[in-house]
């Protein structure tokens, strides 16, 4: 229980704090005034003033906050700050940069975590070794057997099951030539060359949609190896993993809007806390991977064009740049109210789904 609590506080608090750190760094780099920057919320346990900014450690360790001069009230000027440091009086593009820096910081954190995983733990590679062969499949017809190790397809070396799947999927139904290492009774390896033509099949994607794919009718044996990666390889592997997380998260959001993904799949803090707790007991690598995924989700969520979120503020600043004048205050006020209402509805939906999942699992 203690480990779960520490993990939840560290992950959720760290992600929110890193988000606020992005706002802080961007504001300071542009010369904007920051009156306070806190790790945590609530009553301040420790505080120290450096320059014009008060740095604090607060009681509730879930996240943090940054107080920009003039952000909530342009006329509110704390002692010691000048108008040049007022957030509200800065050009729209500078305000946009500061607001966008929060979600971008979450994306950067995900990239750093993915690189850390690749460099520290290496890459888990599923070997192109055949486990099961479906009856009446192209693989059975061609003579592929359980235990065969695929060495190459059409002359291109195959080192992982992922590469094998890509070669089959990208064939377009054209004949393929397989080079296979096959174990013999005397434990020697025989090189076998076979030709086969993939067949079309319909399967469900990770979002539940039916899609047409090319298959040969084999499943992986499940044998994996860990490949150590040097610095350059880990940077590339981490970038690919972070991009995959970003792409799938965005696709999931689009599918949710399209109603391909049902609304009961939306989760909130309770589900996130459960996932963090589970990964905390399974190992640091899994916890870091989950943290990277949550960070990507947090970044994308904050970029949604809902006025109360960073994305809504970014939209306001873009409109201000296009019209070359500040938006009408009444319009901003009504938009903020609508945004708050939309966010509350989303939070209620997520909480309801989380509680309902708990009830079903308990039953």
CA dihedral 303, 277, 271, 59 (to 10 degrees): -60
CA distance 353 to 293: 20
DSSP 83: G
* SS3 state at 260: coil
Per DSSP, the three-state class of 181 is: strand
E-assigned strand segments in 134-196: 149-153, 156-157, 176-183, 189-196
N-term to C-term CA, the chain: 22
Residue 327: DSSP 8-state: P
In angstroms, the CA 159 to CA 35 distance is 55
**Which residue in 20, 85, 129, 179 is the catalytic one?**
20
Looking up tokens 């004949």 gives: 175
Q: Which two tokens stand for residue 153?
A: 């397809």
Q: Looking at 145-287, which runs of residues are DSSP E strands?
A: 149-153, 156-157, 176-183, 189-196, 199-204, 210-215, 218-220, 224-227
Gap between the Cα atoms of 352 and 84, Å rounded:
46
Q: Catalytic residue at 20?
A: yes
Distance between CA atoms of 237 and 123, rounded to whole angstroms?
A: 8
Contact 194, 178 (CB under 8 A): yes
What are the catalytic residues?
20
């Amino acid at each position: 229980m203690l480990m779960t609590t520490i993990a939840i506080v560290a992950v959720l608090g760290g992600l929110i704090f890193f988000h606020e750190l992005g706002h802080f760094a961007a504001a300071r780099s542009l010369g904007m005034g920051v009156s306070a920057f806190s790790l945590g919320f609530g009553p301040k346990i420790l505080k120290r003033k450096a320059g014009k900014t008060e740095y604090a450690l607060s009681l509730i360790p879930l996240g943090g906050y940054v107080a920009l001069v003039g952000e909530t009230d342009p006329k509110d000027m704390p002692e010691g700050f000048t108008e040049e440091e007022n957030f509200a009086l800065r050009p729209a593009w500078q305000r946009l940069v500061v607001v966008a820096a929060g979600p971008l910081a979450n994306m950067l954190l995900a990239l750093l975590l993915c690189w850390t995983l690749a460099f520290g733990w290496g890459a888990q590679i599923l070997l192109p070794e055949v486990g099961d062969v479906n009856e009446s499949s192209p693989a059975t017809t061609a003579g592929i057997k359980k235990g065969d190790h695929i060495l190459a397809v059409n002359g291109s070396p195959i080192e992982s099951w992922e590469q094998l799947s890509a070669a089959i999927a990208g064939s377009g139904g054209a004949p393929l030539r397989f080079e296979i290492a096959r174990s013999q009774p005397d434990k020697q390896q025989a090189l076998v060359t076979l030709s086969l033509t993939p067949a079309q099949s319909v399967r469900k994607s990770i979002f539940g949609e039916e899609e047409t794919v090319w298959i040969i009718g084999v499943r992986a044996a499940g044998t994996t190896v860990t490949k150590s990666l040097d610095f350059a390889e880990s940077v590339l592997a981490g970038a690919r993993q972070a991009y995959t997380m970003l792409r799938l998260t965005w696709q999931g959001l689009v599918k949710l809007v399209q109603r391909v993904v049902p609304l009961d799949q939306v989760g909130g803090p309770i589900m996130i806390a459960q996932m963090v707790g589970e990964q905390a007991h399974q190992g640091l690598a899994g916890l870091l991977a989950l943290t990277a995924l949550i960070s990507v989700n947090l970044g994308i969520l904050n970029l949604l064009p809902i006025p109360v979120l960073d994305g809504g503020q970014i939209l306001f600043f873009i409109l201000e740049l296009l019209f070359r004048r500040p938006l009408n205050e009444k319009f901003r006020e009504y938009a903020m109210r609508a945004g708050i209402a939309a966010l509350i509805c989303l939070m209620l939906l997520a909480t309801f789904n989380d509680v309902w999942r708990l009830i079903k699992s308990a039953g």
